[in-house]
Structure 1
Amino acid sequence: MQTDSSPFQGKRLPGWLILMAALTAMGALAIDMYLPSFSFIAKDLGVGSNTIQLTLSTFLVGLAFGQMFYGPISDRFGRKPPLYFGICLYVISALGCALAPNIETLLVLRFFQGLGGSAGMVIPRAVVRDKMGAEGAARAFSMLMLVFGLAPILAPFIGGLLLTFSTWRAIFATLTVFGAICLICTHRVMEETRDQAHVVPLHLGRVLRQYVDLLRHRQFMAYVLCGGLIQAGLFAYISGGPFVIIELHGIKPQNFGFVFGANAIGLIACSQINARLVIKRSADRVLGKIIWIPAILTTTVAILVACGYESLPLLLIGFFGFLSCHGFVGPNASAIALAQQGKQAGTAAALMGTLQFGIGMLSGVVMGLWHDGTALPLVTVMAVCGVAALLLYRYVARHTTQTVAPQA
């Protein structure tokens, strides 16, 4: 299949890319929209708030687990059939959550909702790879990053708004409607993009070999892990940021949203700047210029904090700089990694999503275990992520970029 390296004609975004963004948002909305309702769900179902947090964990497990299956299936049967299945599972599970009579039912349904929503994380990446060259894909992933940045800002606000005139069940009803709209639009707007000339047989042994081959592919893994480590720094911030900003430095909880929103706006702005930069410069060149910033910035902050020179402005500058750079690193690293995987774009996108998500969850676990009542664990984890991403790019990815020809 021929790819289009310049898919953005005119000022309007193509309808299919808007749909891919909406599909990408399914998982993010299902995570962030119901966060304000934890106490309401706990009271209604007669359980503790810590038990309600398990509904988020089961969703994340389903989200990570499902990605490994949708990729190979989409390489064999096309992008649309598994997407239909995933969206339908998401919609049915969301509706079940809205009607759940007890916590046990809610836990099970949240797992299946994550399993369905993971299709929206894998297949849009494969579709972008199918339709575009590396530079065009970098621009498209920048547009998807816009959704990634907006969801944490808008979703809790929408969820809180729904709680003002209804119950927590209205949130899941809204997710049901959103999923149904995505299903209709997928049927009417999306075209099948898998290259019919390169159908990949679906055999367990072959799939496992594909995953092993991808894990041994130095360039692919270097770029995947490079983007994943920066994303892991974001997960660490999400896990440890509230404690550092609210409890350590006295920002009122109601004002934390402004700090969180400012960082999200920085990520959004940089992702859109990146979409323009890669028109004139290669994605790899932009990545090479930017990848230094999160490493140097957070390492400097971590050293100052370790030496006792901690202040809220210093931390906020470090957080903002690191998270904003994700708007450059994420899209470009993803585009370059997938550019070499035309025949198995779905499988590659699945492995990418699972690995990056797994690294992110691991950073959250480290933050939970290494809690000493200071900001040092958070800034250290972010610094380690930034430095490791830089080293991977400089000494692995950069030296193998020209050695592998793109696959059709």
Structure 2
Amino acid sequence: MGLLTALGPLAIDMYLPAFPAIVEGLGTTQGDVERTLASYLLGLACAQIFYGPLADRFGRKPPLLLGLAIYTAAAIGCCLSASIEQLSFWRIVQAFGGAAGIVIPRAVIRDNFDTRDASKALSILLLVMGVTPILAPLLGGQVLAFGSWRGIFAIMAAGSGAMLFAVIFTMRETLTPERVVPLRIKTIKDNYLALARHKQFLCYTLAGGMGSAGMFAYISGSPRVFIDVMGVDPRYFGFVFGANAAALIFASQVSARMLSRHSPETLLRTAQITLVLMTLAGVVLSLAGAINLTLLMICLIGFMASQGFVNPNAAALALAKQGHRLGVASAMMGALQMLCGAAAGLAVSAWQAHTALPLTAILAVCATLSWLFGRIALRAA
């Protein structure tokens, strides 16, 4: 499940060092290339809505196989793109395949664990998933050293193809017959409406979603900030990017161990305060013109470490009372989080400035909204 979830970050992070090469190769602008990332996130948000009901009706395995097949074909399409419009199209198609790798693993975990153990399992899954943002830009940078940006998408296609065969031969079905939900329009509509009215589910989802939106804003804006503003060599971008991903991984594992002594609610409440403080510090330093690579990294590492606590605990708490509709709940959670991420990514790409302020300001807005929704959810609980 961790490797399946890692396909999403692979498609997001691996081509980040190639942004300048894509600009040159397709004769386009940096903003247009950044919008291919926002297109991918938007596609992920829309596609997850469909996988939820399919996973609750046909089981976890068949929709996952469909998603992996789409992802593989779309990665090949990206590799062969001759224009930025074609690349954007295939990125959206790729997202419709990659969405299965987000919805299904969360549902499988909740099929097997209660809330506290699900938080631990999601933290471990975050460990596997978190290694990808470290390795993906490094791998992408090395591909660029020996070939073109098209080789990056060829590797994505090979990886998803391998996972397709792994699912066929090794994954067991975890949806039991008594929990199958009929695939009726009225049932699907009623389930989504019930989730939209479930204050605790919605606010926990948005608490995690706005934190994730900050992460996607960082992912979308970091190539420009690090390479163009801070002067980091593209070959070493992966190391700088990986340091922040390492903070996310380390914190998520600390969170998993602390769950033996503290409740998910306590960890979420504390982490969201740190989330806001670190991002506000980045905004103040940016406005004062005092920010440099070291100070920016401190603020970003603090943000990512806090998110390592927020993400798994908010997700587990949101799904705690949704055992009768886990597929739909996981899908709606993922869709809302990706919509938040797409909006933040578009905001970063639209705010063109030769400073770190666009990134730090959007991170601060996302962190504050995450804190607000978290407080509402905790009070509702």
When normalised by structure 2's length, the TM-score is 0.88
Per-residue Cα deviation, 1:250-292 (whole angstroms, up to 9, x for no partner)? 5555544433221111111111111211133222222222221
> Aligned equivalents of 1:99 and 1:220: distance in 2?
41
- Using the TM superposition, give the Cα deviation of residue 206 of structure 1 relative to its aligned residue in structure 2, in angstroms: 2.3
* Aligned residue identity for 1:205: K
Residue number in structure 2 paired with 1:297: 278
1:169, 1:283 → 2: CA distance?
Answer: 42
SS in 1 for 2:259: helix
1:270 and 2:251 aligned: yes
Does residue 112 of structure 2 align to residue 131 of structure 1?
Answer: yes
1:69 maps onto 2:50 in alignment: yes
In structure 2, which of residues 216, 225, 240 is the aligned counterpart of residue 259 of structure 1?
Answer: 240
Q: Aligned partners of 1:190, 1:233: CA distance in 2, in Å?
A: 33
Which residue of 91, 103, 108 maps to 2:72? 91
**In 2, distance between residues paired with 1:39 and 1:383?**
27
Q: For 1:25-44, list aligned pairs within 5 A.
A: 25-37=6-18
| 3-state SS in 1 of match to 2:183 | coil
Q: Alignment partner for residue 162 of structure 1, among 116, 129, 143?
A: 143
| 1:121–1:353 CA contact under 8 A, matched in 2 | yes
Give the secondary-structure state (helix, strand or coil) at the position aligned to 2:174. Answer: coil
> Normalising by the residue count of structure 1, what TM-score does the alignment of the two structures yield?
0.83
In 1, are the aligned partners of 2:116 and 2:264 still within 8 Å (CA)? yes
**Residue 359 of structure 2 corresponds to residue 378 of structure 1:** yes
Give the distance between the partners of 1:39 and 1:312, measured in 2 at CA.
Answer: 20
The 2-side partners of 1:297 and 1:199 are apart by 44
Q: Are the aligned partners of 2:282 and 2:360 in contact in 1 as well (CA < 8 Å)? A: yes
1:196 pairs with 2:177: yes
Equivalence map 1:179-258=2 (5 Å): 179-258=160-239
CA distance in 1, matches of 2:281, 2:143: 42
Residue matched to 1:8: none
CA distance in 2 between counterparts of 1:232 and 1:326 reads 11
Q: Deviations over 1:366-396 (max 9, x none)?
A: 33444455444433322222222222222x2
Cα distance in 1, alignment partners of residues 335 and 277 from structure 2: 27
When structure 1 is superposed on structure 2, of 58-67 and 226-235 the one drifting more is 58-67
Residue 167 of structure 1: how far off its partner (Å): 4.7
CA contact (8 A) 1:38 1:49 kept: no
Q: Deviations over 1:8-54 (max 9, x none)?
A: xxxxxxxxxxxx1111111221233334445666666x643556656
Give the Cα–Cα distance (whole angstroms) in 2 for the partners of residues 309 and 54 of structure 1. 29
Task: Show the counterpart of 1:12.
Answer: none
Q: Which has the higher contact order (CA 8 A, sep 6+)?
A: 2
Counterpart CA distance in 2 for 1:249 and 1:168 is 23
Check whether the contact 1:126–1:346 (CA below 8 A) recurs between aligned residues.
yes
105, 111, 117: which is aligned to 2:98?
117
Mapped to 1, the partners of 2:94 and 2:166 lie a distance apart of: 19
Deviates further, 235-244 or 181-190: 235-244
- 2:341 maps to 360
Distance in structure 2 (CA, Å) of the matches to 1:97 and 1:386:
33
CA shift for structure 1 position 226:
0.7
SS at match of 2:372: helix
Q: Does 1:397 align with 2:377?
A: yes
How far, CA to CA, are the matches of 1:118 and 1:321 in structure 2?
Answer: 28
State the structure with more CA Rg.
Answer: 1
C-alpha displacement at 1:303, in angstroms? Answer: 4.0
Does structure 1 conserve the Cα–Cα contact (< 8 Å) formed by 2:274 and 2:303? yes
CA contact (8 A) 1:83 1:123 kept: yes
Partner secondary structure for residue 277 of structure 2: helix
Opposite residue 164 of structure 2, the aligned amino acid is L
For 1:165 and 1:371, how far apart are their aligned partners in 2? 31
CA contact (8 A) 2:208 2:310 kept: yes
Partner of 1:279: helix, strand, or coil? coil
Query: For residues 39 and 295 of structure 1, do their structure 2 counterparts lie closer, same or farther at Cα, with a shift above 3 Å needed?
Result: closer
Matches of 1:338 and 1:98 in 2, distance apart? 37
Q: Out of 323, 326, 347, which is 1:342 matched to? A: 323
Cα offset, 1:327, TM superposition: 0.8
Please name the residue that 1:24 is paired with: 5
Report how far residue 95 of structure 1 moved.
3.6
Q: Percent identity?
A: 44
Following superposition, the deviation at residue 298 of structure 1 comes to 2.3
Is contact 2:135–2:238 with CA below 8 Å preserved after alignment? no
**Partner amino acid for 1:315?**
L
Gaps of 5+ in 1: 1-19, 402-408
Matched letter for residue 377 of structure 2: A
**Structure 1's 156 and 309: CA in aligned 2 closer, same or farther, altered over 3 A?**
closer
Distance 2:154 2:79 in 1: 6
Aligned length, in residue pairs: 380
Task: Give the Cα separation in 2 of the matches to 1:187 and 1:48.
Answer: 40
- Report the counterpart of residue 331 of structure 1 in structure 2: 312
> Cα offset for 1:185?
1.7
Whole-angstrom distance in 1 between the partners of 2:36 and 2:378: 41
1:175 matched residue in structure 2: 156
Q: 2:263 aligns with which of 271, 282, 285?
A: 282
Distance 1:239 1:154 in 2: 17
The letter for the 2-side match of 1:141 is: L
